[in-house]
Amino acid sequence: MPTMDQAGAYSATMNYLKAIKAAGTDDPDAVMAKLKSMDISDFFAVHGKIRVDGRMVHDMYLMEVKKPSESKGEWDLLKIVKTIPGDDAFMPLSESTCPAVKK
């Protein structure tokens, strides 16, 4: 079973490759513009967006370990207790100290 870091790296790579294909080039500025315009929703990130400050914002989850009687298989270990919308899970853009954000 992949770790969260491995799943995140796979998701980032696949979305980067999708952006290259959609942009029709591997020019970094064009690819980043495409990434920032895309909705990023896959097995790892739901309702994801890359903001102007470069932060990837997506829904997060509060998880609970399942009781053995609830588990249906070897890797069926967690259940979602609550979905936290990305805008609540990450620092607001208004608080960003990134120089790319014009206030």
Q: The pTM is what? A: 0.80
pLDDT per position as a tens digit, 18-73: 999 999 999 999 999 999 999 999 999 988 999 999 999 999 999 999 999 999 99
Angle made by CA atoms 87, 91, 96, in degrees to the nearest 5 = 125
Angle made by CA atoms 22, 26, 28, in degrees to the nearest 5 = 105
Q: Taking a C-beta distance cutoff of 8 angstroms, is the pair 51, 67 a contact? A: no
Tally helices (H) and strands (E) across the chain: 3, 4
Please tell me the predicted confidence (pLDDT) of residue 8.
93
Which residues 6+ apart lie within 8 Å of 88 measured at CB? none
